[in-house]
Structure 1
Amino acid sequence: MNKKVKYIIKLESIPELKEQEKKELAKVTSKFAFRTNDYYNSLINWEDPEDPIRRIVIPTTEELDVWGRLDASNESKYMKVHGLEHKYPDTALLLVTDVCGIYCRFCFRKRLFMNDNDEVARDVSEGIEYIRNHPEINNVLLTGGDPLVLATFKLEKTLKSLADIPHVRIVRIGSKMLAANPFRVLNDSSLLKLFEWFNTETGKKLYLMNHFNHPRELTREAKEAVSLIQKTGTTLTNQTPILRGINDAPEVLRDLLEELSFIGVPPYYVFQCRPTAGNKTYSTKIEETIDLVETVRAKVSGLAARVRYVMSHETGKIEILGKTEEFVFFRYHRSADPENAGRFLIFRRNPEAYWFDDYTELVDEYKAELEEEYSF
């Protein structure tokens, strides 16, 4: 199967959009970058203005609502050298590109696609050297942007550099490419040979962390790309945020998690959508999402139900465990501060909460009220 996918960076190139829509949405794309392709656009039902695939990639004027901030998890705090984040002792994150196959409208790193951003390192040698000098790092995540946008020879250079570091045992690639453009895999046998080499010749393991957000992205072509990568010995998993109007209906999330488990791509995380600038229209309330996740877990096999519901907070990865009539429960799944490792947290319910800070700020307000009430 060989198909050349055409990338689209201008709304004017999408005939399905009305001229008035293009004018209105130009205000959005002047602020937040836009990129799609003809394959992904073919998955959209253009007769439905609320089509979930359309919501993933086509701008909406609601993105201009003032809400959140560009670096919602304060990733810059953990940037040790240009293009490398080191938040947890055993894991390093390399930002290897500032381009994706498509630009998801809810992206938590949309700041990378702005002209004044300089977080990505096109030359990763400084990051590689940092990893080499930190033996506690045993796994490295390649991200960006989407690493599979890179030419295979560029990806090969990075993988070979990491393979030469004895204490690096795992390399993960975070990618939406199998959903956005599976022909990146179907048309490039050299990519498959590279993955196979890494898994069979280096004594290390390659993981592909996929980003399928909706079951309609699991097309025949996407499933074929999954199968080809599985044959290289690469382990595939999936992670997705819970997104309003995209996968926040129980039957949709159930179908997504089930279908992924059926094709051997076990769900890894479902994320609380980060409060990134422009993302209010995609965000769901935490306590409603707890109900969603638990409803779906009860309807799928254990392979799909093992998915964790988490937030990637500035302080660490926080698992959202559940709630009672009065309280909501969290646990640090990974913590930047060793003192918080595994810490169990209980807060009073806040039905309007979208993020962890909505609970901690409520505690601060309550403490202030008590101090004022009992001060002498």
Structure 2
Amino acid sequence: MKTTRTIQGKTTKLKVAPLISSDPLLSSKIINFIEGARAVTPAEVEANSITRYRVTKFYREQIINSGHYDQLKFIVEPSFEEFDGPGTLDTSGEHENTVAPGFQHKYAQTGLLLATDRCASYCRYCFRKRIVGKDSDEIAADLGQIARYIGGHPEMTNVLISGGDPFVLNTASLHEILDHLLPFPHLNSIRFGTKMLAYAPQRFEDPALVALFERIHVAGKSAVIVTHFDHIGEISADAERSIRSLRARGTQFLNQCVLLAKVNDDPDILAATFAKCHHMGVRPYYLFQGRPVKGASHFQVPLRRGLEISHGINQRLSGIQKTFKYIMSHYTGKIEILDFGTDGRVYMRYHQNKASEKIGKIFSRPNLEGACWLDDLPEG
């Protein structure tokens, strides 16, 4: 399948991996959900912010053959629960930190560039469902404007290219983005956030893509790929081969995953996932608390259970594998969730914050059983 995106007046073909089927949620008909068949109208889809349905053939076969299909199906298969969940569509304040269309600057050292509104497959728990699978006006349209902003902010040391998934763009489009980033001496690393290594790892076998990362290295900057493996069952032999090949050429890898009810809310599963990542040379980076996104809040795990899982993961890993932080990406900042105290309070600290003086500061709130988010905890 091919679609198009205009970047700075140029129409670029976006190449995405083969689909299992067309998206049945775009027309009124009987749809097969995990729980059974249901008649759905386009109006219901819009009113409930239901994510488009798309899953690559590769990923479908991978999760079926992994032995973990009963858990992994919830990542990509639609559920009735999406029609009933509370929440909002911007849980981390992305709108208020947007400084140019498609570019956010929330934390001093980091810029976030949204390169596309498409993904190879669509995660049902996506926190950017307001954007992905749609023709969004929140993605980068004028790279020159973004470059001018970066040039005026020498405190920015790295840019994260995300979306959507930047690797659904063809390599020429990615080079065009680099044209506007590599000239800045104060940028020392370029990161790419992607789940393509789970959904379509063959994308990384493209020699032209290897040359893209080499271009970053030649420019004297670090090339970093932030993978998104939520479960060991998503890690294919193809993905491991591509990761090892790119690492041998100097590309760094981190992994982030989301704690998801029914999918990976088990310390054995996540410890095995992180150990496998470490074995491949991918550093476990963030374990994200699920966000209260409209239509996806049913994936959230209570904080008490999340801490039990986080501690359980560490109990199962060797010292050099314990590199992840259990993080809540809240609109006030990235909050590391530390522990419950004997005083019945949840203890946390700011891993990142717009106000530098708050970074590293420990704070607490009274626990409320069943709470899944900072806003669920009473102040005081």
Query: One fold, TM greater than 0.5?
Result: yes
Give the letter for the 2:115 counterpart. V
User: Could you tell me which of 171, 188, 193 is aligned with 1:152?
Assistant: 171
Q: Deviations over 1:219-252 (max 9, x none)?
A: 1111111112212211001001101111111211
Number of equivalent positions: 353
Structure 2 runs not aligned, ≥5 long? 1-15
Cα deviation, residue 266, structure 1 = 1.1
Instruction: Specify the alignment match of 1:370 in structure 2.
Output: none
- Report what 1:195 is aligned to: 213
TM-score with structure 1 length normalisation?
0.88
Inter-CA distance 225–114: structure 2 relative to 1 (3 Å threshold)? closer
| Post-superposition CA distance 1:112-153 (Å, at most 9, x none) | 026474111244222122111211111111011111111001
Q: Distance in 2 between matches of 1:25 and 1:108?
A: 25
Give the conservation status (yes or no) of the 8 Å contact 1:25–1:59: no
Post-superposition shift, 1:279? 1.3
8 Å Cα contact 1:97-1:122 kept in structure 2? no
Are 1:296 and 2:308 matched, yes or no? no
> Aligned partners of 1:93, 1:80: CA distance in 2, in Å?
10
1:327 correspondence with 2:345: yes
Query: Partner of 1:239: helix, strand, or coil?
Result: strand
Are 1:316 and 2:333 counterparts? yes
SS of the aligned residue for 1:245 comes to coil
Q: Distance in 2 between matches of 1:137 and 1:333?
A: 17
- TM-score of the superposed pair, with normalisation by structure 2: 0.87
1:197, 1:19 → 2: CA distance? 46
Pair 1:286 & 2:303 matched: yes
What are the ranges of 5 or more consecutive residues in structure 1 without an aligned counterpart? 367-376
Q: Identity over the aligned pairs, expressed in percent?
A: 35
After superposition, the CA RMSD in angstroms is: 2.4
- The residue number in structure 2 matching 1:369 is none
Q: Offset of 1:157 from its aligned partner? A: 1.6
Once residues 113 and 279 of structure 1 are traced to their aligned partners in structure 2, the CA distance between those partners, rounded to angstroms, is 14
CA distance 1:251–1:134, change in 2 (3 Å) = same
Partners of 2:341 and 2:63 in 1: CA distance? 39
| Alignment partner of 2:238 out of 218, 221, 232 | 221
Offset from partner CA, 1:191-240 (integer Å, 9 cap, x none): 011112211x1111111001001101111111111112212211001001
In 2, Cα distance between equivalents of 1:330 and 1:12: 42
Matches of 1:49 and 1:264, distance apart in 2: 23
**Cα pair 1:79 1:86 within 8 Å, conserved:** yes
> Using a 3 Å threshold, how does the CA distance of structure 1 residues 293 and 83 change in structure 2: closer, same or farther?
same
Quickly say closer, same or farther: Cα 1:313–1:25, change in 2 above 3 A: farther
Q: How does 1:331-346 map to 2 (within 5 A)?
A: 331-346=349-364
Closer, same or farther: CA 294–99 of 1 in aligned 2, 3 Å: same
Secondary structure of 1:329 counterpart: strand
Q: In the TM superposition, what whole-angstrom CA distance separates every residue of 1:310-367 from its partner, at most 9, and x where no partner exists? A: 11111110000111241210000111123422221022222211101112xx12xx6x
Asked whether the 8 Å contact 2:68–2:233 carries over to 1, the reply is no
Q: Following TM superposition, by how much is the alpha carbon of 1:80 offset from its aligned partner in structure 2, in angstroms?
A: 0.6
1:83 paired residue number: 102
For residue 64 of structure 2, give the secondary structure of its aligned residue in structure 1.
coil
1:43 touches 1:53 (CA, 8 Å); kept in 2? no
In the alignment, which residue of structure 2 is the partner of 1:33? 52
Q: 1:107 pairs with 108, 115, 126, which one?
A: 126
Counterpart of 2:373 in structure 1 is 355
CA distance in 2 between counterparts of 1:25 and 1:238 reads 38
Is residue 24 of structure 1 aligned with residue 38 of structure 2?
yes
Matching residue of 1:163: 182
d(CA) in 2 for partners of 1:116 and 1:207?
A: 28
Measure how far apart 1:32 and its partner are. Answer: 2.0
Q: Which residue of 2 aligns with 1:277?
A: 294
The one-letter amino acid paired with 2:364 is I
Contact 1:34 1:103 in 2 (8 A): yes
Change (3 A) 1:149 1:258: same
More strand by share: 2
Cα distance in 2 between the residues matched to 1:238 and 1:20: 32
Q: Describe the shift of the 1:26–1:256 C-alpha distance in structure 2 as closer, same or farther (beyond 3 A).
A: farther
Query: What is the identity, as a one-letter code, of the residue corresponding to 1:209?
Result: V
Deviation at 1:189, TM superposition (A): 0.7
Shifted more, 70-79 versus 154-163: the winner is 154-163
Match of residue 257 from structure 2: 240
Equivalent-residue separation in structure 2 for 1:244 and 1:111 (angstroms): 22
Secondary structure of 1:110 counterpart: coil
Considering fraction of residues, name the structure with more helix: 1
Structure with bigger gyration radius: 1
User: Equivalents in 2 of 1:169, 1:191: separation in Å?
Assistant: 20
Mapped to 2, the partners of 1:34 and 1:242 lie a distance apart of 21
